[in-house]
Structure 1
Amino acid sequence: MAADVVPFRQYVLKVHSRCDLSCDHCYVYEHADTGWRNQPGVMADETVERAAERIGEHAAAHRSPAVGVVFHGGEPLLAGRAKLARAATALRAALPAGCALDLRIHTNGVVLDERWAELFLDHEIKVGLSLDGDRTANDRHRRFANGRSSHPHVVRAIDLLRAERYRSLFSGLLCTIDVANDPIVVYEALLSHEPPALEFLFPHATWETPPAASAGNAPEYARWLGRIFDRWTADGRPVPIRLFDSIVRTTAGLSSLTEAIGLQDADLLVIETDGSLEQADSLKTAFDGAAATGLSVFADSFDVAARHPGITARQGGLDALCAECRACPVVDSCGGGLYAHRYRRGSGFANPSVYCADLKELIRIVRDRVPTGPRFHLPEADFAALAGGVGGEHAVRSLAEGQRGFRRGLLARAYWHLVAVAGIDSEAWDLLDRVDREDGGILDRLLAHPYLTAWAGRCLSGAGPAEVAYLTGLAIAAAHEAGVEVDLRVTVGSDGALSVPTVGRLETGRAGAELTVEVGEKGLAVRGPGETWHIVGGDLEPGSDAAAWHPVRHLHAGDISVALDDVDPYRDYSPLRARPYLAAAEALEWQDRFGRAWDIVRREYADYAPGIRAGLVAITPLEPDPGGRSVSGTARTGFGAIGVALPSEPAQLALLLLHEFQHVKMGALLDLLDLLHPMADPPRFTVAWRPDPRPVEGVLQGAYAHLAVADFWRRRAGAGPEGQAARRKFDSHRADTADAVAVLAGSGALTTRGLQVAAAMQDTLDSW
């Protein structure tokens, strides 16, 4: 595999170089480039076959799991059915085993009929059509050469694709913006055709030929799109709109769905009708020959094309942009805009987009209207259930969903900080993004890992090799679960270990060593200087150093499974100390005591059990107290995890589970809701369970946790010495908790929501 190139994943095959429409905004025929005049009208079969061979060769060399090919033009349907059928067959035959083909065609639809639709069904070709809105809007630009309207022909083609037999072929509508058209009329006209997706395109322009509608730097295109965005949002987003969805995705640190925005590397190659290789078609709007490479399918491999300066110039993320773009606060979404739109004579493409003002404004509009970060809507019923102290399965799952959203944004911030500080490449991030696009549930499960937040915080406060290696470990874990075969390179930190979150930790003993990790069907193969470790089914294969591999083990009891995480390097419960990796006998002891403790929770505290089962992801063993006192804790950033020193009695472990999971829930509530007023000098209060005055948040956390402690002893109160002792403990904890709730209610530090929590806790205490 050529590791020095970004492999192509998308191809545009120009099967026909002429068109049956005369659209005045067409970048092929109406802009600066005149190369179409020298192209043969139709791609020869020999060229098709050689192009297919090159695509298959490139996919095999780079182990590509899938490639996308778009039949394009001109108007590709003019090539004829026989030509496209042979091309589709050749492409599928050329791809290596295990490489999927996403085959599409982009057409104006003028001649599309049932015979075409049947061919598309036979060869699994998805169809996208161009339509600029209603007839008035469409006729501004998309007409035949004699001035006739193309609108009825396109609508007929859309109606055909909407028929039940062909609906699976319809991939969506593409609309080029003209701000002279009413945006809502355009939106409603497009939506009336029930497309599976919409894409809005800025008309191609450069600093040499700027868009007239943005004269004076007024963001008219953003305002036009903003009206559609507001209406689309009010309608409940009935159809994906690629530009809007891409802004939302890039705001969360994911890849864009369109080359119009985003920092992702260019991975597209155009093959012209004569077999010449070109860069993105949009470059034809810059100057004559801007897209040319001088290469062809007959003489050059695609690795050679991937090294072409014009291709590599559209790679490199943030570093490839001009200084003005790098300093822009929305560059993570904008990415400098479409490459072609940056062109200016004298400085080439080293400029912001000619649509810079529009992109800034549009991104602001979307970000202002789409909640980001930890602000997540908690259903009122879930809030009420949690405020009283218990909260069921649904309520805790809502908390977990909010935390996942928070961690998505934090993961993205951490990655971009690593890019800026450590200069890392995008290999691991691209893999995470790919897995997320193919199966979002996998990344969601990884985002449930409690110690990701602590890692991200470390990245943002001073990242080093260990933080970089952890990101790669996260990508390894994602690929491992997804069954993706991939090779990743990683440099271990100063501790000489490779951590794979949720999977395990490999103690290589080689600080700073360069490792290659092969993720395959059978597991992981980690290759380092002089040694290879094979990890299959969570265990090392015979022949590897068994002492080096520390898998994440799990505690199982009835209907719950929780990680016994004694390997993650970010499991910080300071000042409490986490245990190092447990011996097998100790892990078995944990399993036995946890099983018996969970039986107690299920029998005696059944209303707490569903919430704990829904939200408890990991338990970290802590060092015991020399004096024999109970030791447990939570990390404020570690939703889903608790730390515990294993007590001798299962009942005590059951109590600690209830107690610490209260802190987990309250921490999530504080992340999701404004329970406390921000104060420059917040007051501190004394509570019965701590000798030191506590801030308001500490009082709230303590009261909420002791509500469950009081409940634990309440349910054990009864006759006999043990029941009477439990009754005394209940009375004491109930009184202490009531005092703390009274302090909270009178502190002046609680918001309306915070006062509702205090009132609900008081109601629970009163009911006892």
Structure 2
Amino acid sequence: MSAVITPFRQFVLKVHSRCDLACDHCYVYEHADQSWRGRPKVIAPHTVDRVAARIAEHVTRHGLERVDVVLHGGEPLLAGHERLSAIATTLRAALDGHCRLGLHVQTNGVRLDDRFCEIFAEHGIRVGISLDGDRAANDRHRRYASGRSSYDQVIRAVERLRGRRELYAGLLCTVDVANDPIAVYEALAALRPPRIDFLLPYATWDAPPERHSETAYADWLITIFERWEADGRPASVRLFESIVRTTRGEPSLTEAVGLEPSTMIVIDTDGAYELVDSLKVAYDGAPATGHDVFRHALDEVAAHPGVLARQRGLEGLSATCRECPVVGSCGGGLYTHRFRAGSFDHPSVYCADLFKLVSHIQDRTKMSSHAIPYACLDSLATGLGSADDVRLLAQAQRSVRRALIAALRPRAAGEVWELFARMDQDHRDELEQVLAHPYVRVWAVGCLRGEHPVTYLANIAAAAMIRTGQDVELPVAVIGGAVHLPTVGTLHGVGGDTVTLVARSGRITVAGHPAPEWHAVRTVSSGDYSIVLEDADPHRDCHQWPTAGRLAQHEAAAWQEAFEPAWRLIEKEYPQYAQGLRAGLTTLTPLAPASGGRDVSSTARQAFGAVAAALPADPATLALLLIHEFQHVKLGAVIDLLDLFDRSHTGLYHAPWREDLRPLEGLLQGTYAHIGVTDFWRARRHAVHGADRDTAEREFARWCGHTVAATETLAASGALTPVGERFVARMRETVVAWQRELPGLADRPNTAI
């Protein structure tokens, strides 16, 4: 036995060897290895006992802090409620006190019911569902033996999990290039999974995949990647993120790519150890090790040649792969896919696809992403951020917007796209000013989801043309009886869905239409600083609170009267925030007054640069709302650039300022925003007197305590990435330092209230 082995950290435990579907692409039943026929249908209790004991033995010997067990099949739910509960109980009992155990189940979902969900919640089991996209895509392969569709049952299962987010692990989709990639992506994304796995069909050179071109699978996945990027990465996609991570020198999240050694082993229903399941497509007996849980320790299996072959990294690849420029990310692809005529010493059968996909993602992320120097990240993590720091975020947002617009090209009318492209070439600065309007991104994201009309692209082009002084005669979109031209103004009282906009010599109207009412875009200003007062954009109603309607003249004047002293206050008492606000805050959106005169404010995740608020009673409150909400704007832009946390994490956490539990991102956003709130009252207590100072002291103490406690919850979540841990540590350093200013805590630097 080798003196040094790589311990196993993931165990695929087959709890049932049969399935209630007859998927024609299944690697268990439809390919070369047919060993399932001789396996017990369901794993026996004494076999589970030995499995648990072997894993505990392995964990203890290697000092492992965590292992994961995936309950698999066949179809694992065929084992039944009580058997699965007993298996989970046995595993947890054996490993309790030795390591943390992650339990998972991968199922086709058709048998998932409320009782299973209760069991999974009781044992902390997260559930992955196999689903190939929309009904047409899923029914191409995932059917009953009778040919009947499984789609409705699977969707019901997913909806159950959406109501139990702590159980919902994600969706597994097998790629079929005969399916429409965007239809597949949209169907999966609509189910709001924390993670999507795209799985290339298991194939070898001896049994190659069906394809209509050499890079059909790359082209299919690239189409989805572009849309996923344009949508702002709404869910984790393991394959794409692994390519991005390996490009940066970080470990892969999947065996499908990357050079990390495999740490997974399969245990079948009879207790036999098997190599990776996908080897069943290579030849009969390919996964077999000749070892089992009754006679062999896991260290013996770890020394098996078939295990070691998947742990050799670059050395274990063919000469062709070792010379490839993308090998650091590709890693030769899945081991199974390299098989040809008795040998795995070949490139992947998907070699051309992987080369194109990896190259595209590497080029695309280099083009569209913006590195954040640690000095900049640390500056932002304090809750502040200089003008240069915020400008860097704004530049990154420019790339996000361009990716969104590029994704719309197949849907846009040819003449409008050509006009848009000409404006981009000849008048890029003017076009960029329009694209930078916060609600342009909101429209583009909604358009990609089918919620907003693509014809609005013409309104954007027309607005840029008007800003350059050009004459315009162009069909544009009518939304809610108005033609809105972002950053320019709005024509009210217009009927239909599209009209021809005419702009000549500074006059803007609609061809063949009774004179519509033109309102130029409004602004508020203080000194040399001016921002848009957005009361007309049809896409601004994306905030937590309802937006106000078109402001009357006296209402707009009230906003100006409030903004000017509020900004002077920020510049005088909060100069550390003023510079970042100047660099990034472009738009103030009035909200409808809240009941009882409450102060309400909001930002929208897709609307970088915009803060929304109901008009508060005094300028100081408006200053507080601007500082508070712009914290959300900054952090949202950071999250667009960096993974601060595991996006598939579904844990819920207490936020001291709310009664309901919050997802990790919600807690992170709230904590970061309340750094600004804490700092506001920290400074305010030195600028006011009497009862106002007492109020400021109390508010500073309250928010400082809440924010320190929240940073500790974030740090203890176990879901932060290394850069997220660094970011939260800087956040905590900021508020802990302020905490020392509180009476009685000067000598207790690490004490949270």
Code of the aligned partner of 1:296: D
Aligned counterpart for 1:261 among listed residues 257, 280, 284: 257
Name 1:120's counterpart in structure 2: 120
User: What is the CA-CA distance between 1:184 and the residue it aligns to?
Assistant: 0.3
1:308 aligns with 2:308: no
User: What is the CA-CA distance between 1:214 and the residue it aligns to?
Assistant: 5.8
Q: Structure 2 matches for 1:602-751, cutoff 5 A?
A: none
What SS does structure 2 have at the residue aligned with 1:54? Answer: helix
Q: Structure 2 matches for 1:491-506, cutoff 5 A?
A: none
Classify 1:94/1:398 alpha carbon distance in 2 versus 1 (closer, same or farther; 3 Å).
Answer: farther
User: What is the CA-CA distance between 1:89 and the residue it aligns to?
Assistant: 0.9
Code of the aligned partner of 2:124: E
1:355 aligns with 2:350: yes
Code of the aligned partner of 1:7: P
1:394 aligns with 2:389: no
CA contact (8 A) 1:6 1:267 kept: yes
User: What is the CA-CA distance between 1:191 and the residue it aligns to?
Assistant: 1.0
Code of the aligned partner of 2:109: G
Name 1:754's counterpart in structure 2: none
Give the distance between the partners of 1:222 and 1:320, measured in 2 at CA.
Answer: 24
Aligned counterpart for 1:205 among listed residues 199, 203, 206: 203
Give the distance between the partners of 1:320 and 1:376, measured in 2 at CA.
Answer: 33
Aligned counterpart for 1:330 among listed residues 326, 330, 334: 326
What SS does structure 1 have at the residue aligned with 2:386? Answer: helix
Name 1:645's counterpart in structure 2: none
Give the distance between the partners of 1:328 and 1:12, measured in 2 at CA.
Answer: 32
User: What is the CA-CA distance between 1:93 and the residue it aligns to?
Assistant: 1.3
1:229 aligns with 2:245: no
Name 2:103's counterpart in structure 1: 103
Name 1:134's counterpart in structure 2: 134
Aligned counterpart for 2:237 among listed residues 238, 241, 246: 241
User: What is the CA-CA distance between 1:97 and the residue it aligns to?
Assistant: 2.0
User: What is the CA-CA distance between 1:394 and the residue it aligns to?
Assistant: 2.9
Q: Which has the larger radius of gyration?
A: 1
Code of the aligned partner of 2:226: D
Give the distance between the partners of 2:246 and 2:390, measured in 1 at CA.
Answer: 24
Give the distance between the partners of 1:289 and 1:183, measured in 2 at CA.
Answer: 35
Give the distance between the partners of 1:373 and 1:225, measured in 2 at CA.
Answer: 18
Q: Structure 2 matches for 1:524-673, cutoff 5 A?
A: none
Give the distance between the partners of 1:393 and 1:195, measured in 2 at CA.
Answer: 33
Classify 1:97/1:357 alpha carbon distance in 2 versus 1 (closer, same or farther; 3 Å).
Answer: same
Name 1:365's counterpart in structure 2: 360
What SS does structure 1 have at the residue aligned with 2:67? Answer: strand
User: What is the CA-CA distance between 1:82 and the residue it aligns to?
Assistant: 1.2
Q: Tell me how large the CA RMSD over aligned residues is.
A: 3.0
Give the distance between the partners of 2:104 and 2:18, measured in 1 at CA.
Answer: 19
Code of the aligned partner of 2:117: A
Name 1:158's counterpart in structure 2: 158
Code of the aligned partner of 1:32: A
Give the distance between the partners of 2:575 and 2:82, measured in 1 at CA.
Answer: 67
User: What is the CA-CA distance between 1:610 and the residue it aligns to?
Assistant: 13
Classify 1:397/1:53 alpha carbon distance in 2 versus 1 (closer, same or farther; 3 Å).
Answer: farther
Aligned counterpart for 1:172 among listed residues 154, 170, 173: 170
What SS does structure 2 have at the residue aligned with 1:270? Answer: strand
Name 1:30's counterpart in structure 2: 30
Give a deviation string over 1:641-668, Cα, whole Å, max 9, x none: xxxxxxxxxxxxxxxxxxxxxxxxxxxx
Code of the aligned partner of 1:155: I
User: What is the CA-CA distance between 1:61 and the residue it aligns to?
Assistant: 0.5
Give the distance between the partners of 2:251 and 2:219, measured in 1 at CA.
Answer: 24
User: What is the CA-CA distance between 1:371 and the residue it aligns to?
Assistant: 2.3
Classify 1:153/1:610 alpha carbon distance in 2 versus 1 (closer, same or farther; 3 Å).
Answer: closer
CA contact (8 A) 1:2 1:61 kept: no
What SS does structure 2 have at the residue aligned with 1:369? Answer: helix
CA contact (8 A) 2:56 2:98 kept: no
What SS does structure 2 have at the residue aligned with 1:105? Answer: strand
Name 2:216's counterpart in structure 1: 220
User: What is the CA-CA distance between 1:113 and the residue it aligns to?
Assistant: 0.4
Name 1:186's counterpart in structure 2: 184
TM-score by length of 1: 0.49
Give a deviation string over 1:17-64, Cα, whole Å, max 9, x none: 000000000000001101001101000000011001000110111000
Classify 1:186/1:86 alpha carbon distance in 2 versus 1 (closer, same or farther; 3 Å).
Answer: same
Classify 1:401/1:194 alpha carbon distance in 2 versus 1 (closer, same or farther; 3 Å).
Answer: closer
Code of the aligned partner of 1:394: S
CA contact (8 A) 2:60 2:98 kept: no
**Higher mean Cα deviation, 76-85 or 19-28?**
76-85
CA contact (8 A) 2:76 2:105 kept: yes
Give the distance between the partners of 1:96 and 1:168, measured in 2 at CA.
Answer: 21
Classify 1:2/1:313 alpha carbon distance in 2 versus 1 (closer, same or farther; 3 Å).
Answer: closer
What SS does structure 1 have at the residue aligned with 2:128? Answer: strand
What SS does structure 2 have at the residue aligned with 1:224? Answer: helix
Give the distance between the partners of 1:393 and 1:149, measured in 2 at CA.
Answer: 54
Code of the aligned partner of 1:285: V
Give a deviation string over 1:199-218, Cα, whole Å, max 9, x none: 10101100000012166xx1
What SS does structure 1 have at the residue aligned with 2:46? Answer: helix
CA contact (8 A) 1:60 1:95 kept: no
User: What is the CA-CA distance between 1:277 and the residue it aligns to?
Assistant: 0.3
CA contact (8 A) 1:276 1:294 kept: yes
Name 1:293's counterpart in structure 2: 289
User: What is the CA-CA distance between 1:376 and the residue it aligns to?
Assistant: 3.2
Give the distance between the partners of 2:393 and 2:59, measured in 1 at CA.
Answer: 37
Give the distance between the partners of 2:393 and 2:306, measured in 1 at CA.
Answer: 43
Classify 1:40/1:280 alpha carbon distance in 2 versus 1 (closer, same or farther; 3 Å).
Answer: same
Give the distance between the partners of 1:367 and 1:99, measured in 2 at CA.
Answer: 37
TM-score by length of 2: 0.50
Give a deviation string over 1:550-581, Cα, whole Å, max 9, x none: xxxxxxxxxxxxxxxxxxxxxxxxxxxxxxxx
Name 1:92's counterpart in structure 2: 92
Name 2:17's counterpart in structure 1: 17
Name 1:74's counterpart in structure 2: 74
Give the distance between the partners of 1:2 and 1:58, measured in 2 at CA.
Answer: 16
Code of the aligned partner of 2:131: L
Name 1:62's counterpart in structure 2: 62
Aligned counterpart for 1:340 among listed residues 336, 351, 372: 336
Give the distance between the partners of 2:322 and 2:236, measured in 1 at CA.
Answer: 29
Classify 1:120/1:2 alpha carbon distance in 2 versus 1 (closer, same or farther; 3 Å).
Answer: farther
User: What is the CA-CA distance between 1:369 and the residue it aligns to?
Assistant: 1.2
Code of the aligned partner of 1:120: F
Give a deviation string over 1:525-562, Cα, whole Å, max 9, x none: xxxxxxxxxxxxxxxxxxxxxxxxxxxxxxxxxxxxxx
Code of the aligned partner of 1:131: L
Give a deviation string over 1:222-249, Cα, whole Å, max 9, x none: 0001111111111111111111001000
- Deviating 4+ runs (over 6 angstroms): 398-402, 606-611
Give the distance between the partners of 1:338 and 1:167, measured in 2 at CA.
Answer: 31
Give the distance between the partners of 1:374 and 1:140, measured in 2 at CA.
Answer: 37
Classify 1:161/1:609 alpha carbon distance in 2 versus 1 (closer, same or farther; 3 Å).
Answer: closer
Identity %: 56
Give the distance between the partners of 2:2 and 2:372, measured in 1 at CA.
Answer: 47
What SS does structure 2 have at the residue aligned with 1:371? Answer: helix
Give the distance between the partners of 2:393 and 2:319, measured in 1 at CA.
Answer: 38
User: What is the CA-CA distance between 1:271 and the residue it aligns to?
Assistant: 0.3
Name 2:706's counterpart in structure 1: none
